[in-house]
Structure 1
Amino acid sequence: MRVTVFGATGGTGKQVVDQALAAGHKVTAVARNPQAAEAALGERDGLTVVPGDVLDAESVATATAGSDAIISVLGVADRKQPTTVYSAGVANMVRAMGESGPRRIIALSADGVEPNPNVNIGQRLVMALVVARMFKHQYKDMLEMERVLAEADVDWTVVRPPRLSDGEHTGEYRVDAEEPMKDSSTISRADLADFIVTRLADEDTHRKIVWVSK
């Protein structure tokens, strides 16, 4: 497939690019600074780095033209400030998809965006009083991003992982497309990327929120 990746230079993004290329896909990595992205990702067969900004609808449309799928693994550096990167960025992707782009998009969210009813009261309190407050701006915008996708006529999948680590690529993890896991804790960025890349052509995950964990 021809895959356009937004957020390709982040920790998960690099893993997505590596594994997509290893799987034989052609990857277009979108970056505001192409030179820095090329240095971070290296020059490899099947990889093209193009300039672009997720908040610029025209550059998003240009970057996604001719693609079969979009992967959004966006992130923000400053969690203390409000952001619209996730929601506005994905809205631009959806707009580009409706015009002439692909129908398939996989977007990274987070397990903590909503309270998990399947964990005990102690865990819920920690999430509500500590984690949710630390990431309140990102979580708020991720939920808006999910709403944008839910209302879009595209084949979307939202991925909600727990805490990410730099652990090994094992290919062994749990998946639930029905409800949050009661015992999710962490997943390596490599295994998260494994899930994303291997579900590019998976129709069973279309229009679903999916939880993944070690």
Structure 2
Amino acid sequence: MKLLLLGASGRVGQKVAELSIQEGMKVHALLRNPEKVPSSILEKITYTHGNVLNKEQIEEAISGNDMVVSALSTDGGNVLSESMPLIIEAMKKEGISRIISVGTAGILQSRAEPDMLRYQSSESKRKLTRAAEDHHKAYNFLKESALDWTIVCPTYLPDGDATGVYRVEEDFLPEDGSKITTGDTAHFTFSLIKEPRFIKFRVGIAY
């Protein structure tokens, strides 16, 4: 198994990389700033130095891989929604069908208003919706892509190690879920790398 990891320098991405390395998987990353990745990880992966918004660099990075795992953040702008069409196009060109993306609980369905997403509904406690809107656009691109996608949707995401004990639910946040650590988000994401599940679903994750 060889996977392309996007967002490998981030809080969840680093932990996904560590788990993949421990399992003996081959990890390739597309890194804008390799210096942000701990040397303990960087020494054990291969990488393309580049930007996820650059079509040629994405195509170079994705070549030869079996699947894509994205732990990209919105990066204060529209990185997710602008990069997702490029990622999808490169995957189709390379003949890769499987992508797992780490999103946000804001794009899950609202329990109170099921015809709305959580960030659009009274369930949302956030006044600013820019990040959720970018995740929503990326979700729409995946939904229309015909790829075998899964979006892992954590709620409040403090740093912390994996416990392996958490709840997940298709398309909704587990009831009364209020947080999930970066470690357990990576743990669940990695479980989907090993065993394809929740194909074409958003998955809420919380304690």
Q: TM-score, normalised by structure 2?
A: 0.88
Q: CA deviation at 1:40?
A: 7.6
Cα shift readout 1:41-91 (whole Å, capped 9, x = no counterpart): 3412xx11221211111111110111111011111443xxxx221112121
Change beyond 3 A, Cα 1:114–1:191? closer
Partner amino acid, structure 2, of 1:48: T
Cα shift readout 1:21-43 (whole Å, capped 9, x = no counterpart): 11221111211123443648341
Identity of aligned residues (%): 28
CA–CA separation in structure 2 for the residues paired with 1:48 and 1:198: 22
- Following TM superposition, the consecutive aligned residue runs of length 4 or more in structure 1 with deviations greater than 4 angstroms are none
* Aligned twin of 1:31: 31
CA–CA separation in structure 2 for the residues paired with 1:191 and 1:185: 14
Q: CA deviation at 1:179?
A: 3.0
RMSD between aligned alpha carbons?
Answer: 2.0
CA contact (8 A) 2:108 2:171 kept: no
Query: 1:164-203 alignment to 2 at 5 Å?
Result: 164-203=157-196
2:47 pairs with 1:49: yes
Bigger share in helix: 1
Figure out how many residues of one structure are paired with residues of the other and give that number.
Answer: 200
Cα shift readout 1:1-38 (whole Å, capped 9, x = no counterpart): 10111110011111010011112211112111234436
Query: 1:56-205 alignment to 2 at 5 Å?
Result: 56-78=54-76, 83-113=77-107, 116-118=110-112, 125=122, 127=124, 130-131=125-126, 133-134=127-128, 136-205=129-198
Cα shift readout 1:109-158 (whole Å, capped 9, x = no counterpart): 11123562259xxxx6462xx41x23x11111110100000000211001
Gaps of at least 5 residues in structure 2 are 114-120
Q: TM-score, normalised by structure 1?
A: 0.85
SS at match of 2:197: helix
Partner amino acid, structure 2, of 1:141: D
Gaps of at least 5 residues in structure 1 are none
* Aligned twin of 2:116: none
CA contact (8 A) 1:9 1:40 kept: no
Change beyond 3 A, Cα 1:36–1:101? farther
